[in-house]
Structure 1
Amino acid sequence: MMGERQTDQPELFYGFSLERHVPADHVLRSIDRFVDLGDIREQLRPYYSDTGRPSIDPELMIRMLIIGYCMGIRSERRLCDEVHLNLAYRWFCRLGLDGDVPDHSTFSKNRHGRFRDSDLLRKLFEQTVARCIAEGLVGGEGFAVDASMIKADANRQNSTPGDEWEPPDDPGHAVREYLAVLDEAAFGGATPVVPKFISAADPASRWTGANGGLAFFAYCTNYLIDLKHAVIMDVEATTAVRQAEVTAQRTMLDRTQERFGIWPERLAADTGYGSAENLAWLVHEKGIEPHIPVFDKDRTDGSFARRDFVYDHADDSYTCPGGKQLRRYWQEGRAARAKPPADGIDRYRARKTDCQACDLRSRCRPGEAGRKLLRSVHEGARDLARDLSLTDAYLTSRRERKKVEMLFAHLKRILKLDRLRLRGPNGAKDEFLLAATAQNLRKLAKLIPMPAPATT
């Protein structure tokens, strides 16, 4: 039998419940269990005036931002439209059916003011880390670190050669932020090399072709993760150069110990973190086992490599494959008077007469008068890293390190953060913190099952 025709005559009364219309298995219902914003008003109270018109509830704005980053909604204009229309989003924001959605411009005003002044987004992220620790998702024994480049909101057409760039007379906030971080190790102070191009819209972003394709302006998001369940322990924004990534690793390890009292036994990373200085910092200053490939530059001409020479620690000398010695100083008493090398590299040389009479001369020193070896003053830490690379634990760490790469893939493909929407170092920090917060919340929602419904 055909049903009755639908009419648009409004009902006088409705019995409607948002709670009943949000599915029990909706991801936001699961995430909501781990979002605690009870003290957010007290944190922000010093940044509001005691007079004037009432402001938008900051908890509402934070909940809307969580929705945007958890659900991959990159535009704040679109986010406001989605929250207005979507029942689950209204339920998560505690808006009800009649609640007004704030204008998109409200986010920008609060971001440049109260949120950054109070470091609110950093505190929000650390709340998720603390919750992961409380739920037993953090092992605290093995960590991994890596960085991934994210395109900046800048393009080549609106840029200037690096050696010709000058700040404008009326700089915008992105230029002011760039000038403020010129001496910071994470941005301008990371390398003395002048960039090939500097963007007029976002000069702190770095022109890079490190991915092997077309060059672009970018920032780097740096993750420090716990290897048990790939929980993000810390996140740091830097310019897109390798030196800044190593600096970010140190910052994140120190901050994790300070905030949560957790210090890993081992750290997994790729070869970019395998410099002698960084390995020495991990081993000697922090007592962390570096499960990191050692950065070596072996000879490529087919001659004997440094590993073919045997080092005698007690005698401070090398023995070559021909049985001859290489020393730093051959004159008696010279070593006692020598100062530490300014570049951190000791140089060991063979006697010229030994090399001239050696049958292996053609394989050892083509084009050289005598064989020379370079040894870092941090070679002890490098040797430890080489020894660790032969263990089963190292192989496990190398396999588990892929978890951080999977997080970056999730960040770009699922959360849609393959290009920044905000400009300047602070804009990059805000986006990376919110994205890491969303990933930790989604991790909690996935691994901690929903409680069974109460039976009556």
Structure 2
Amino acid sequence: MQGKKDYQEKLFIRFQLSDHVPADNFYRRLKGILDLNFVYDTTAKYYGTEGQKSIDPVVFFKLMLVGYLENLNSDRRIVATSRMRMDILYFIGYDLDEELPWHSTLSRTRQLYGEEEFTAIFKQVLKKCIDKGLVAGKRQAIDSVFVKANAAMSSLVEREIMDDASTYGKQLDDHNDEVPAQDTIDENITPKPRKNAKVDKKANSKRYSPSDPDARISVKPGKTTRLNYSAYASVDTQNHVITHIQAFHADKGDAPCLPEILTHVADNLKDNGIGIEEVLADTGYSGEAALLFLTNNNIKGYIPNKAGYRSRESREGFSYEKQQDRYICPEGKYLTFHNFKKAKNANTHKIYRTSVKDCRDCPFKRTCANLQGFKVFKDSVAKDLYIEMQERMQTGQGRRARKLRQSTVEPVLGTLVNFTGMRQVNTKGIKLANKCMIMAATAYNLKKLVNGIPTRARKRIIKLAGNTSGGFENTSLAWIAKIKAIISTFKTNLKSKWLNNHLPCKLNYSAILSPVAQRPHNAKGFLRILKIFMSFE
């Protein structure tokens, strides 16, 4: 018999969200993990003692997290989506018949709170990830991505024109009582840039967007020229947890940003007793400031030198004496250290030069010396660090570090942009953009915290009783002892000629496997060895 549903709304109904949100629901599990009650004390300074009550600070931050967890970059869509989802209502503490805050309240509250309130939530989530064993902290991979600003290219105006217009307007106000007319901008003066057009390096000094002055013109090969911010992220290589994220102007170089990023990462990890030992980055981060910072803080870097790198041996015919810190020309004359000189990019050069007397009778003077009559070399003050980095990247460890960086931080940035609402910020100004990036990173880490280590990664880690997180070396050494015991049992019980000559009985397991145990990135190959030997048991 065919059924037919007859629906009629009930006037009264007994309904509890807790009865209809499954126990394994993401937001229900997140509600049990995330405790934001501390924000009542940190945000109390922004409110008075009289007037209407504002939005609950905990509710505000939870709605912000919902926006990034659901890949929503609009406050209107956050409220509309939350109203239709029972699990989100249960997470933020609202009932079905309660009215959610107005979307403009979210925008005003985001501007009201300082950056330290957003950072405090990020640090709390990071601490929970560390306590759960998801962060090792010793090796960090760093990279950046462009995030579209909330401003259009058509809003760009010339800086000089606007400065002159404002000055002229002030003069009119001082000498004329009439109301000045509104400024109009000729569209022919600032045409809309073409797609994939090459951007002038000085374009940001000539033009800006009045709607968002902090946004900068930037472009990647094959992409559309637009106004962006740069999001720099530091990712722990163990389980791809974000340890720091920060907004910078899109026209700023990578190398000058690295010291500031690592300083914040160190502060975030220091409270949990973790120190940074290695940093992985791409060629863009190779610079004098970055290398000097790594050296001064005893951090080993794996950063490939830029294409223009030149070794001291590349100067044909000239040799370098390290102890005396000088060059020797083919004629046996010395180019000694003369002085330091600041470059336009804020780097410092060491100047080596001969004297005019040394080059006076040289047969190569016309092709070798400068117009003043002497030979000059310029080296960076970090020249030795560049050479050391070049040698390090040529080793097997350097090649593995390059691949590890690509497989660690780049997928994380792709996830933030495509699935965590960070493709475009819906705010104005770099301070608000930084708040958005912090909340996006917090939402990403919360997914890691709630879901834990993926099943594929868990299968690679053999956990023994009493083993702590990050104790791969202890785990592997325990398995080495077990392998020895298995082989010893074979030798004792089966004294056959074949077994004594078999390869597993002749190997020195401590010498072979102990170095493997000290390198957690070799876990996959080590587990394959274990699988082979366990088949003998």
Q: TM-score range by the shorter chain?
A: 0.7 to 0.9
Please give the residue correspondences for 1:177-216 in structure 2 after superposition, counting only pairs within 5 Å: 195-216=205-226
Letter in 2 for 1:404: V
1:209-258 deviation per Cα after TM superposition (whole angstroms, max 9, x unaligned): 34453321111111112111121111111101243x43432222222333
Match of residue 388 from structure 1 = 392
Cα 1:353–1:196 change in 2 (3 A) is same
Counterparts of 1:236 and 1:382, CA distance in 2: 27
Deviation at 1:356, TM superposition (A): 4.5
Cα 1:420–1:212 change in 2 (3 A) is same
Deviation at 1:374, TM superposition (A): 3.0
Match of residue 92 from structure 1 = 91
The number of equivalent residue pairs is 409
Are residues 1:73 and 2:85 paired?
A: no
Match of residue 453 from structure 1 = none
Match of residue 259 from structure 2 = 250
Match of residue 447 from structure 1 = 452
Cα 1:357–1:156 change in 2 (3 A) is closer
Match of residue 433 from structure 2 = 428
Letter in 2 for 1:440: N
Are residues 1:138 and 2:142 paired?
A: no
Deviation at 1:196, TM superposition (A): 3.7
Letter in 1 for 2:303: I
Match of residue 175 from structure 1 = none
Q: Please point out which of 375, 379, 384 is paired with 1:375.
A: 379
Counterparts of 2:47 and 2:442, CA distance in 1: 25
Paired residues of 1:196 and 1:207 also in contact (CA < 8 A): no
Cα 1:396–1:227 change in 2 (3 A) is same
Counterparts of 1:200 and 1:326, CA distance in 2: 59
Counterparts of 1:195 and 1:93, CA distance in 2: 45
| DSSP 3-state at the match of 2:228 | strand
Counterparts of 2:54 and 2:80, CA distance in 1: 20
Paired residues of 1:195 and 1:207 also in contact (CA < 8 A): no
Please give the residue correspondences for 1:378-417 in structure 2 after superposition, counting only pairs within 5 Å: 378-402=382-406, 403-417=408-422
Gaps of 5+ in 2: 171-200, 456-537
1:326-346 deviation per Cα after TM superposition (whole angstroms, max 9, x unaligned): 7434xxxxx5xx443344223
Counterparts of 2:290 and 2:242, CA distance in 1: 22
Letter in 2 for 1:50: T
1:340-386 deviation per Cα after TM superposition (whole angstroms, max 9, x unaligned): 3344223446875898479xx99x99xxx997643212212212212
Match of residue 288 from structure 2 = 276
Cα 1:229–1:326 change in 2 (3 A) is farther
Cα 1:309–1:394 change in 2 (3 A) is farther
Counterparts of 2:161 and 2:232, CA distance in 1: 30
Letter in 1 for 2:288: A
- RMSD of the alignment, in Å? 3.4
1:165-202 deviation per Cα after TM superposition (whole angstroms, max 9, x unaligned): 439799xxxxxxxxxxxxxxxxxxxx998524201210
| DSSP 3-state at the match of 2:43 | helix
Cα 1:204–1:13 change in 2 (3 A) is closer
Identity %: 26
Deviation at 1:448, TM superposition (A): 5.4
TM-score (norm 2): 0.68
Counterparts of 1:130 and 1:307, CA distance in 2: 54
Match of residue 299 from structure 2 = 288
TM-score (norm 1): 0.79
Runs of 4+ in 1 over 6 A off after TM superposition: 167-170
Q: Please tell me whether Structure 1 or Structure 2 has the larger radius of gyration of its CA atoms.
A: 2
Please give the residue correspondences for 1:113-192 in structure 2 after superposition, counting only pairs within 5 Å: 113=112, 115-116=113-114, 119-166=116-163
Cα 1:107–1:308 change in 2 (3 A) is farther
Paired residues of 2:339 and 2:350 also in contact (CA < 8 A): no
| DSSP 3-state at the match of 2:36 | coil
Match of residue 40 from structure 2 = 41
Deviation at 1:160, TM superposition (A): 0.7
Counterparts of 2:316 and 2:118, CA distance in 1: 48
Gaps of 5+ in 1: 171-190, 330-334, 451-456
Counterparts of 2:320 and 2:90, CA distance in 1: 68
Higher relative contact order by CA 8 Å / sep ≥ 6: 1 or 2? 1
1:83-139 deviation per Cα after TM superposition (whole angstroms, max 9, x unaligned): 1111111111121223321110111221121x22x7211111111111111111111
Cα 1:204–1:5 change in 2 (3 A) is closer
